[in-house]
Amino acid sequence: MALTASVLVAGTAAACSSSGDSGGGGGGPTGGNPGNGGSSSSGGIDMSKQPDTKVKAATMSGDCAPYGVYGKYNGAKVTVYTSITDPELSLHVSSVKDFERCTGIDVQYTGDKEFETAIKTKVQGGNAPDIAIFPQPALMQTFATAGKLKPATKQLAEEAQKNWTKSWIGYGTVGGYYFAAPLGGNVKSLVWYSPKYFAKWGYQVPKTWDDMIKLSDKMAADGHKPWCVGIESGTATGWPLTDWMEEVMLRKYGPNVYDQWLTHQIPFNDPKVQDVLNTVGSIVKNPKYVNAGIGDVKSIATTAFAKAGLPVETGKCMLHAQANFYAANWDKGYTVSPTGDLFAFYEPPMGTKFGKPVEGGGEFVGAFTDRPEVEAFQQYLASSAWADSKAKQNSLTHTSGWATANMNVDKSLIKDPVDALSTTILTDPNATVRFDASDLMPASVGSGTFWTQVTQWILGQSTKDALDKVEASWPK
């Protein structure tokens, strides 16, 4: 196994980039997002359009027997380029050791924090990797639309359909062709809290949005400010508030309107969008609710997102909305478990009309070459066998921060309680999953005016002015 890690980063930085990276706009409005005629969230694949497999199965024995479906190779090499870096990347390397040993394929990973920019240069310069692990579907869709990616074979598409829901399959489908199976996943639809302090004050985890607001009111009446929020993130300041809007949009108006919003089929200052931001404001601009243990409403703009939830540790704050990757930010010495110092609950729906809305994220595995060994590795990464292997590696190293939407993963192998919760949410057949909208919008909006204007909004700008300015910035 050859491994290159261009940049070593902690889990916190990697997590932040998934929501706040300047490259998150990916393919922009024509990148094939649901609702714009490119990919479809229905997940249907026309197998007649997918090429036939080049993989020839081989007979293997012993512990290699399960790998016979991928074939046997001599001196074959597959290069993989990814935004995943150490320490997480080393677990990916370990998770494919048996595949390499049994098939004879040498998998060479390169992890690069500058993936979103560098992959474009590599492809334009004729130096594309065999496989790229795309951190956003829009970026993958851009290369597929440009004819750079190879469509998945029938066998790979069938493996993906077996393991993922239609929502996830849809994000890998462009122009009627299936290109990329999902890999890992993360959940943004979480609210962190302290089970210890909930027990002390007699609070119960809410099951509906109305229950969450009633709980917030009770906490305030008890003398607590329930919510702590922070959106400062350097040049990406503001992105946590875009997540708030996306959560509310998905819950209040559903996936179809959500898709219309992110693809500009409805304007950014549409009455629905104004209603969503005002609903967010009913929490984050409510002086009775925020900013627990930190300051007033305006302190949200200057509080680092990585530090904003820390008052939960000591009971100064009761609730903090952030993704599963926020687990990396807690101070040492605190137990994360359903009965411990810290845990999270699913951010509840606003009704039953849209199932269980989930704002999530994840990676997609696309190929720039179609050699049989490349397809074989794609097939393995799309399987539940690889998901089980990856879960084992995280468990053996006591590493948290990895979840999956693979429906057939052995959940008993996922030992970290937040990872287990996230995987359960992602694999729920009733889940309505949508990716971060700002990551799928044109970069000038999604990682530009959207961030800056919600920051000005929390500092006092009106809802109308903020949304009018974002609308005016949308590329014509």
DSSP, collapsed to helix, strand or coil, labels residue 90 as: helix
Provide mean pLDDT across the span 373-380: 98
Q: pTM for the whole thing? A: 0.84
Let me know whether 81 and 155 are in one domain.
Answer: yes
Task: Reply yes or no on whether the pLDDT at 18 is more than 50.
Answer: no
Provide mean pLDDT across the span 222-250: 96
Instruction: Let me know the angle formed at the C-alpha of 111 by 184 and 177, rounded to the nearest 5 degrees.
Output: 50
Let me know whether 249 and 302 are in one domain.
Answer: yes
Picking from 412, 429, 446, the residue at the C-terminal end of a domain is: 429
pLDDT of residue 8: 25
Let me know whether 124 and 271 are in one domain.
Answer: no
Task: Reply yes or no on whether the pLDDT at 329 is more than 80.
Answer: yes
State the Cα–Cα distance between residues 40 and 37, nearest whole angstrom. Answer: 7
State the Cα–Cα distance between residues 223 and 288, nearest whole angstrom. Answer: 9
Let me know whether 334 and 421 are in one domain.
Answer: no
DSSP, collapsed to helix, strand or coil, labels residue 107 as: strand
Task: Reply yes or no on whether the pLDDT at 94 is more than 80.
Answer: yes
pLDDT, one tens digit per residue, over 102-121 is 999 999 999 998 898 899 99
Provide mean pLDDT across the span 261-271: 98
pLDDT of residue 328: 84
Best CA proximity match to 168, nearest among 42, 45, 25: 42
Provide mean pLDDT across the span 216-238: 96
Let me know whether 117 and 247 are in one domain.
Answer: no
Let me know whether 319 and 332 are in one domain.
Answer: yes
Spell 147-163 as b/e; 16+ CB within 10 A means b. eebbbbbbbbbbbbbeb
For residue 11, the domain's CATH number is: 3.40.190.10
**Residues 65, 58: contact at Cβ < 8 Å?**
no
Let me know whether 11 and 127 are in one domain.
Answer: yes
pLDDT of residue 43: 54
Burial of 312 (0-12, 13-18, 19+ CB in 10 A): buried
Percent of the chain with pLDDT strictly greater than 70: 91
Residue type, 228: C
Let me know whether 82 and 154 are in one domain.
Answer: yes
Q: Average pLDDT over the chain, rounded to whole?
A: 90
Percentage helix, strand, coil, to 5, in the chain? 45, 15, 40
pLDDT, one tens digit per residue, over 189-219 is 999 999 999 999 999 999 999 999 999 999 9
Name the maximum alpha-carbon separation found in the chain: 70
Let me know whether 342 and 199 are in one domain.
Answer: yes
Distances in Å between the Cα of 40 and the Cα atoms of 31, 37, 172, 259 are: 12, 7, 9, 10
The whole domain housing 452 covers 190-356+437-473
Let me know whether 147 and 60 are in one domain.
Answer: yes
Work out how many domains the chain is built from and give that number: 2
Tokens of 266: 């409805």
Task: Reply yes or no on whether the pLDDT at 10 is more than 90.
Answer: no
Distances in Å between the Cα of 417 and the Cα atoms of 89, 324, 344, 346 are: 21, 10, 9, 13
Task: Reply yes or no on whether the pLDDT at 357 is more than 70.
Answer: yes
**Residues 451, 238: contact at Cβ < 8 Å?**
yes
Instruction: Let me know the angle formed at the C-alpha of 147 by 141 and 151, rounded to the nearest 5 degrees.
Output: 75
Burial of 452 (0-12, 13-18, 19+ CB in 10 A): middle
Distance of CA 391 to the CA centre of its chain: 17
pLDDT, one tens digit per residue, over 144-164 is 999 999 999 999 999 999 999
Let me know whether 45 and 169 are in one domain.
Answer: yes
**Residues 349, 50: contact at Cβ < 8 Å?**
no
pLDDT, one tens digit per residue, over 270-318 is 999 999 999 999 999 999 999 999 999 999 999 999 999 999 999 999 9
pLDDT, one tens digit per residue, over 22-73 is 233 332 222 333 333 333 344 578 999 999 999 999 999 999 999 999 999 9
Task: Reply yes or no on whether the pLDDT at 4 is more than 80.
Answer: no
Let me know whether 65 and 175 are in one domain.
Answer: yes
Percent of the chain with pLDDT strictly greater than 90: 80
State the Cα–Cα distance between residues 136 and 436, nearest whole angstrom. Answer: 9
Strands 343-346 and 173-174: unpaired
Cα dihedral 419, 421, 427, 431 sign: negative
Tokens of 150: 């190879």
Provide mean pLDDT across the span 400-425: 93
Q: Would you put residue 410 in left (φ > 0), alpha (ψ -120 to 50) or beta?
A: beta
pLDDT of residue 398: 85
